[in-house]
Amino acid sequence: MARRSYSLRRGLLAWLLISTVVIGALALIDTYRDAVKTANVVSDRVLAGSALAIAERVVVAEDGSLEVDIPYVALEMLTSAAQDRVFYRVDGPPGRFITGYQNLPSVADLNGQSAVYTDAQFRGEPIRVAALERSASTGINSVPFVVTVVETTIARRQLTQAILLRSAFRLLMMILGAAGIVWIAVTFSLQPLYRLGDAIAERSP
């Protein structure tokens, strides 16, 4: 009887662990998506601020062309302990390259949006792209241009992993706690069964 009770406890605990692991895996998938979204929201704001700082230094020269005085403080805004690399480019009308890294991926069409963010690859590394559309005034008309600022995604990945690991640790503690509670609860619940088994064993044939 004791062996059957022990097997019953193990069976209940096994079903509990299987169900909680499945639920935990689904929760981690959802947490990962939220972590990626959070990392992008936080970092994209800084990326947009850097692009805006560059856009504010674009002026129209006497010959009608666009000139850019890159404020390097705009790129220093993106420095982090993760040692991400930062790149930029400025394009004038109609898609005319002005300065920066000419082979840098850019957003072909902003669809009327003031800023667009996307993921891409550059030199074999994943990058986050922020494209900002603005215009410089000549006093008579406006000359549109696009500022593109790019950074590698090391810091974003590290932030995502940190959020995911904290969530996984909390889920593991919850699963272990639930398993311990179920083991104790089942043990106490089976006490009447233990006593019944002992009483049956003490009876004579």
pLDDT band at 5 (very low <50, low <70, confident <90, very high): low
Q: Does the structure show a pLDDT above 80 at 197?
A: no
**Minimal CA–CA distance to 168: which of 31, 37, 33, 40?**
31
CB 96 within 8 A of CB 157: no
Residue 65 tokens read as: 């062309």
pLDDT at 170 over 70: yes
Q: How does residue 38 score in pLDDT terms, banded at 50, 70 and 90?
A: confident
What are residue 107's phi and psi, to 5 degrees?
A: -90, 120
Please report which residue ranges of the chain form alpha helices under DSSP H.
2-55, 72-76, 154-189, 191-202
Rounded Cα–Cα distance for residues 91 and 153 (Å): 23
**48-158 in CATH: which number?**
3.30.450
Residues 45-92: tens digit of each pLDDT: 888 888 888 888 888 887 777 888 877 776 676 666 557 888 889 988
Please check whether residue 78 is in contact with residue 50, taking contact to mean a CB–CB distance below 8 angstroms.
yes
Q: Write the Ramachandran bin of 131: left for phi over 0, alpha for psi from -120 to 50, otherwise beta.
A: beta
The pLDDT of 40-44, averaged and rounded, is 84
Residue 58 pLDDT: 86
Q: Give dist(CA 83, CA 94) in Å, integer.
A: 34
Reported pTM = 0.69
Give the C-alpha separation, 3 to 197, whole Å: 11
Closest CA to 87 of 45, 41, 120: 120
DSSP state of 95: T
User: Residue 94, preceding bond cis, omega within 30 degrees?
Assistant: yes
* Residues 48, 114 contacting (CB under 8 angstroms): no
Which residues does 204 contact at the CB level (< 8 Å), separation at least 6? none
